[in-house]
Amino acid sequence: MRHLHNLVPGAQDSGEALEIASPYDFSTIGIADLANEAAVEQALAIADELFRDRHRWLPLPERLAILEKTAIIMRDEFDRLVTDAVREGGKPLQDSRIEVNRAIDGVRLCVETMRTTAGSVIPMGINESSAHRLAFTTLEPIGPVAAVSAFNHPLNLIVHQVAPAVAAGCPAIVKPAGKTPISCFNFVEILHRAGLPEEWCQALVISDRQLATYLATNTRIGFLSFIGSSRVGWLLRSRLEPGTRCALEHGGVAPVILAPDADMDVTLPKILKGGFYHAGQVCVSVQRVYVQRGSARLFAERLAEAATKLKVGDPLLADTDVGPLIDVNEVDRVEEWVREAERSGAEVLCGGEKKANNCYSCTVLFNPPDDVRVSTREVFGPVVCIYEYDELDEAIHRANRLPVSFQAALFTKNIDIAMHVYRRLNGSAVMVNDHTAFRVDWMPFAGLQDSGYGTGGIPHTIRDMQIEKMLVINSYAL
């Protein structure tokens, strides 16, 4: 059994610990020491001192070498990283293998970005006031990074928050989700083994909300990276010091529109994957699907038939498609929302049942009212809702009615329809002929409105964690 000690040089254990349990079989897989106020203060002081002493900043070649070695170690320890992620987070083995591969590629992407990112030359000598001058910019770290992470991608989210900080030259302090800290500690320890001095990336497990808020909003933090609920994210942003940047990644209630010409055979497997991947515990999981009246019931019934064939159960088994929800409270919440929709007139075409070991059956709802919770709030569970529409613009209007905006999708063979919907559908990204959960780690990934603030994606995060500093030289030799 793993025992996690807070990775803060010189900090003492608080004497309190948190049990880490498998969400599937409830077995204890680890114990994490809980950080107290002294440990958090120590971490902040270390990060602040590092940033203020420019002589201790890590040169670019050293940071490059550390990240290159990190990727090599992760590849060598691939199986261990996968197993730990499955056991603590419950994402099935087949999907956790993809997550770890993405995490390794994310570290490599940091290296690629570092090799091609630079400041810029500012035009001078173009009028009398700028004569005899040369100007250019360089990039410097913005300051210590506080990374507050979530449970649903326990390794890859940490990589997206921490590896860019290393690339940018920022000291980092990481608070993983209390349910899934092992993958975070695995990555931070690998960074240290790859040559990153321990004080440059510290990790703490914090259960006290006030203490976590103190860390995230401290005056010494230059950048806050937060992944979690909108309620907490916006509260933290409101308490940040002037000049502190942040990136907030909340959730969506992702809409998909099937145009009348959509190919059902092409669409079905993508909706199936996008809706039930990781039991729907993804911020851009397919949730609301709008299908033209006349085709909607057939599509919903075919989706339900396919959903019942997905294997729900032990995430460590290679043939499991859908694992557990993160805890029993989430199972109860999803069950309550489904029952509310059913009482209000939704037709349950499949699922709608609690299963053993924190699992919930893959559920397809037909025509739930627009005002019930499965239609207005992020389910974060294995539930997909199918709605009938008469006119395409009606579907767009209904998809746009919520104060959230993240990734959306459209299925069509017609370029004119694709552009019509793209220009009118709320979203930071619109996928055409793909599901809403599509992502590669170099693309911009951003929630708008209540769904978030700032832009994720490895290159974008690195850039946001840096400032552009200008030098202007005045010389009559120029």
**Can you read off the two tokens belonging to residue 241?**
């010091």
Report the C-alpha gap between 156 and 151 in whole angstroms: 10
Report the C-alpha gap between 122 and 136 in whole angstroms: 5
Percent helix, percent strand, percent coil in the chain, to nearest 5:
40, 20, 35
- The full DSSP string for 325-390 is -SSHHHHHHHHHHHHHHHHTT-EEEE---B-STT-B--EEEES--TTSHHHHS---SSEEEEEEES
Closest CA to 233 of 455, 452, 464: 452
**Can you read off the two tokens belonging to residue 66?**
């550390």
Report the C-alpha gap between 70 and 115 in whole angstroms: 17
Whether 336 is catalytic is no
C-beta separation of 32 from 1 below 8 A = no
206: helix, coil or strand? coil
Q: CA-CA-CA-CA torsion for 177, 447, 427, 333, nearest 10 degrees? A: 40
Identify the active-site residue in 99, 249, 330, 388: 249
CA distances from 4 to 31, 84, 182 (A): 6, 13, 8
- The full DSSP string for 37-77 is HHHHHHHHHHHHHHHH-GGGSPPHHHHHHHHHHHHHHHHHT
C-beta separation of 152 from 228 below 8 A = no
Q: Kind of pairing, strands 133-141 and 466-474?
A: antiparallel
Identify the active-site residue in 110, 184, 201, 283: 283
Whether 362 is catalytic is no
CA distances from 313 to 196, 286, 318, 358, 459 (A): 39, 21, 11, 9, 36
Distance between first and last Cα of the chain: 66
471: helix, coil or strand? strand
What count of residues does the chain have? 478
C-beta separation of 387 from 341 below 8 A = no
C-beta separation of 142 from 170 below 8 A = yes
User: Which residues does the annotation mark as catalytic?
Assistant: 249, 283
